[in-house]
Amino acid sequence: MKIFPAIDIKNKKCVRLVRGDFENKTEYEMSPVEQAGRYKDYGFKNLHIVDLDGALTGETVNLNIIRDIVDKFDFKIEIGGGIRNFESIKKYFDAGVEKVILGSAAIKDKNFLKEACDKFPNKIALGLDAKEGYLSISGWKENSNQLTINYLKEVNNYGVSRLIFTDINRDGMKQSPNFEETLKIADISNCPVIISGGVSSLEDIRKAKSLKNIEGIIVGKALYDGDIKLEDLVKEDA
């Protein structure tokens, strides 16, 4: 199973939000590039990056930081945050990321998701961020009024290469992921699923490994806060 250490970027800094709340954030001293270097030093192969500025503006605000990380380190990177048009997708692929995560734009416009999957085969990931069963959009500020399961059934044959499922109520809380809901998603999904939100311990990682159709897991706040040590986590990375 793949381990994805997380880097969330806001105002050129590494930050962690609690339940996606921009008013409830922690800033960290290391720059995103330094943090990526730290992950590389420990031997991680994959990286999950979110451009929080992009999530709010719909622009590729931190593209230069992404380029810098790609140029300096050999990672397979998935990037999300406000990616709402083909121009932005192409910029990230030109910069050298492996997969682009579509969220709000794909939920608002299923045709955009389908076209993106057709234009960039095996390169598009779908981010499903849910609160109490419903998908949230626009930096988690709005309820889309679409049930996660129903939406997934509608787009399941579009050719998405990876699905990232986040339970917003667990995100940044370090109370373990919502395995129950994640399993419902994984059972339906035609593509492998990445677990996101709430990882608190190595036990969470090991539990995820035992589940079907789970490709990997994203670890953020528990790493930054020292609850999980990088040297222990990398041993779980396959």
Give the residue numbers annotated as catalytic, written as ranges.
8, 129
In 3D, which of 152, 162, 157, 155 has the Cα closest to residue 213? 162
Q: What is the rounded CA–CA span in Å between residue 36 and residue 107?
A: 30
Residue 153 identity (one-letter amino acid):
K
Please state the φ and ψ torsions of residue 234, each to the nearest 5 degrees. Answer: -65, -25
Tokens 């050298």 -> residue? 96
In 3D, which of 55, 63, 62, 45 has the Cα closest to residue 2? 45
DSSP string, 139-159: TTTEEEEEEHHHHHHHHTTS-
DSSP string, 28-97: -SS-HHHHHHHHHHTT--EEEEEEHHHHHHSS-TTHHHHHHHHHHS--EEEEESS--SHHHHHHHHHHT-
